[in-house]
Amino acid sequence: MSKTLVEKIWDAHVVKSEEGFPDILYIDTHLIHEVTSPQAFDGLRKRGLPVFRPKQTVATADHNVPTLNQLLPIKEELSRYQVDMLTKNCAEFGVELYGLGHPFQGIVHVIGPELGITLPGKTMVCGDSHTSTHGAFGAIAFGIGTSQVEQVFATQCLLQSKPKTMKIEVNGELGKGVGAKDIILYIIAKISAAGGTGYFIEYAGSAIEALSMEARMTICNMSIEMGARGGLIAPDQTTFDYIKGRKFAPAGEEWDKALAYWKTLYSDADAKFDSVLTFDAADIAPMITYGTNPGMGMGIQEHIPATGAQPEKEKLSYQKALDYMGFDDDSSLIGKPVDYVFIGSCTNSRIEDLREVADFVKDKRKADNVTVWIVPGSKQVEQQAKNEGLDKIFEAAGFQLREPGCSACLGMNEDKIPAGKYCVSTSNRNFEGRQGQNARTLLASPLTAAAAAVTGKITDVRDLLEKINP
């Protein structure tokens, strides 16, 4: 029978399937971090259980760590306690930890791929909704709650109903100044912040196939922002080339065996999806969000949609969002001053993102009214950036290169945007207060963020690219 890629991987991991019950799904790799694991470890203690497969569990500290002076003791008491608790729990239960100071430390969704832990055909979970990032390799990867973290600790399995499948095809060529982040913000704006709920999404089409692995991760990362549990992309030569030679990737005979299997991982030509959507890459402009959910995005030259044009029962919520942002409906954002630029998060903090920003800001300087933070996704990304001299370019531009962590994406550590201030952010959520109480977030690509940093206002990056390279 023809199968979609999701069905192929799912079926290969079903321990038991019984009518009237969710499937018992085997989990190959469990990633954990300091914020959503302590209550799960506590649960194990209460039940008197060990971690069933500690070797299939990997931990790092990322959500609640400082991004300056990481080798000093954490100043804030509750944060220090939480990070110490992870260290203690990992030691007690025999879980490998890449904590602060370790050369592999970083955002959990950045280190999995760069260490070769993330592989095609795997099932992977983490107590974090952006686990969908790993789907870029053709893996079933999704976020779970803490009760489920405990479940995977205890059994290496999850009770899960098989999801519906959706295919999103993006065909054609992207315009200048348009990248993976714009593709995903465009799709979310089209289908809304709830448009993918209940689905696993497979991204396909020539525009997706043309993307690098890191760009594909940006796409899959934001699947949850349309409500989808996960998103994935069939592995191809780009995937195999990226994985080969990485720290924990299979090697030698194991590599040949793995590769032969990975090459079977695609949706059969006549496989049936529950829903199929098609978009044209040429229609996509640099995107920016104007509201308080990731579905409230538009091409940067467009006007904010009129409140009057919203469905009657949505008008109140829509206007509430614009009031929070301090924007008028039916207005343009071009030229609007910004206060902060944040380049980081599991969406856009990889070396390609940093290279793209460095390439753009070389010989330029940030505007005086803007504070710019660049937070690399991992120690390895940070080191690579320094090896390539990107740190010097950032320094000359007045951008601050910090140490790895989730940082201002969720404002859990001290990296917060002050109340009322505008931040152009490469992260994934523009919810009220996400980056700090009453902070106002505009989601955009690294290039659009860099353009805002240089001009001090919302800018169509294509206008600047035109001047540099007409």
Binding residues for [4Fe-4S] cluster: 346, 406, 409
Between residues 56 and 171, which has the closer beta carbon with respect to another protein? 56
**Residue selected from 68, 91, 159, 306 as contacting another protein according to rule CB under 8 A:** 159
SS3 for the chain, per residue? CCCCHHHHHHHCCEEECCCCCCEEEECCEEEECCCCCHHHHHHHHHHCCCCCCHHHEEEECCCCCCCCCCCCCCCCHHHHHHHHHHHHHHHHHCCEEECCCCCCCECHHHHHHHCCCCCCCCEEEECCHHHHHHHHHCCEEEECCHHHHHHHHHHCEEEECCCEEEEEEEECCCCCCCCHHHHHHHHHHHHCCCCCCCEEEEEECHHHHCCCHHHHHHHHHHHHHHCCCEEECCCCHHHHHHHCCCCCCCCCHHHHHHHHHHCCCCCCCCCCCCEEEEEEHHHCCCEEECCCCCCCEEECCCECCCHHHCCHHHHHHHHHHHHHHCCCCCCECCCCECCEEEECCCCCCCHHHHHHHHHHHCCCCCCCCCEEEECCCEHHHHHHHHHCCHHHHHHHHCCEECCCCCHHHCCCCCCCCCCCCEEEECCCCCCCCCCCCCCEEEECCHHHHHHHHHHCECCCHHHHHHHHCC
Q: What mask of x and - would describe binding to another protein in positions 65 to 84, judged by CB under 8 A?
A: -------------xx-xx--
- As measured in angstroms, the least distance from the Cβ of 281 to another protein is 27
- As measured in angstroms, the least distance from the Cβ of 52 to another protein is 8
Residue 429 in contact with another protein, rule: CB under 8 A = yes
Angle (CA) 181-184-185 rounded to 5° is 80
**CB crowding 180-189: b at 16 or more within 10 Å, else e:** bbbbbbbbbb
Residue 30 in contact with another protein, rule: CB under 8 A = no
Residue 437 in contact with another protein, rule: CB under 8 A = yes
Binding piece for another protein, criterion CB under 8 A, among 125-133, 236-244, 267-275, 366-374: 125-133
Residue 197 in contact with another protein, rule: CB under 8 A = yes
Residue 54 in contact with another protein, rule: CB under 8 A = no
Binding piece for another protein, criterion CB under 8 A, among 347-355, 385-393, 408-416, 450-458: 408-416
**Residue selected from 116, 172, 175, 198 as contacting another protein according to rule CB under 8 A:** 198
**Residue selected from 5, 6, 35, 372 as contacting another protein according to rule CB under 8 A:** 35
Residue 252 in contact with another protein, rule: CB under 8 A = no
- As measured in angstroms, the least distance from the Cβ of 292 to another protein is 8
Distance CA 433, CA 408 (A): 11
- As measured in angstroms, the least distance from the Cβ of 276 to another protein is 20
Binding piece for another protein, criterion CB under 8 A, among 38-46, 114-122, 239-247, 369-377: 38-46
Between residues 61 and 285, which has the closer beta carbon with respect to another protein? 61
Q: How many residues bind another protein (CB under 8 A)?
A: 64
**86 Cα distance to chain centroid:** 22
Between residues 215 and 228, which has the closer beta carbon with respect to another protein? 228
Distance CA 454, CA 162 (A): 47
- As measured in angstroms, the least distance from the Cβ of 329 to another protein is 17
Between residues 54 and 456, which has the closer beta carbon with respect to another protein? 54
Between residues 111 and 226, which has the closer beta carbon with respect to another protein? 226
Residue 261 in contact with another protein, rule: CB under 8 A = no
Binding piece for another protein, criterion CB under 8 A, among 178-186, 268-276, 309-317, 397-405: 309-317
Binding piece for another protein, criterion CB under 8 A, among 156-164, 242-250, 256-264, 350-358: 156-164
Residue 22 in contact with another protein, rule: CB under 8 A = yes
**Residue selected from 5, 136, 144, 452 as contacting another protein according to rule CB under 8 A:** 144
Name the site residues for another protein (rule: CB under 8 A): 15-16, 20-22, 24, 26, 35-36, 38-39, 42-43, 47, 52, 63-64, 78-79, 81-82, 85, 127-129, 143-148, 150-151, 154-159, 161, 193-194, 197-198, 224, 227, 229, 293, 295, 313-314, 316-317, 320, 410-412, 429, 431-434, 437-438
